[in-house]
Amino acid sequence: MNKFVTTFAGIALLAAAVPVHGQMRTLEIGMDGGISYSDPATEGTDNRVWDVSVPFQSARVGLFVTPQISLEPAVTLNRVSLPNDERATQVTTVGNVLYHLNTPEWRPQLFAQAGGGLEYVSWKDVDFDENDTQWVAGAGVGMKLPVADRLALRTSAVYWRAFESDHFPRMNQVRGQVGVSFFTR
């Protein structure tokens, strides 16, 4: 949990420092939902998970440092409860760097993203009660589709890798997301 707090504090300080460095630029504030497939990358385990999160599972703030590059801290929350007293909670904090391939905001924008952070995982069932923090890293591509002045739909496809920790195996995740973005100016 200490790694989780340290990373979250670091991302918050980075987000606060960027606008101070130069002229205040556009902020992109958004929320995303979608579908993901997780597969443990460990031999002998069969804990594959499909996850559908509607309407939203993550919140993000994009800070444009140039018209083509933005820094994007994000927080994602997943919670699953099953009738047999099984529960899982997953909180992920990441910092992403987005590179926008074309810059006019009034037309569809393609982007590539890469980032990393920490993921807190808690799992409880009849025989198992553990929690731990894992490092995560990932990359993806997406598109922002303007629908109105300062409002856009955003789609993305992302691959995430959670690295092995003391209590949980390494995990591969493929995620398709759809969300909304509001631009401050």
- Residue 20: band (very low, low, confident or very high) from pLDDT cuts 50, 70, 90: very low
Region 41-68 average pLDDT: 78
Global confidence as pTM? 0.78
Question: Does residue 67 have a cis peptide bond before it, meaning omega lies within 30 degrees of 0?
Answer: no
End-to-end CA distance of the chain: give it in Å, rounded.
37
Q: Which domain holds residue 34?
A: 2-183
CATH of the domain at 176: 2.40.160.20
Look at the block and give the residue holding tokens 């047999």.
Answer: 84
Domain count, the chain: 1
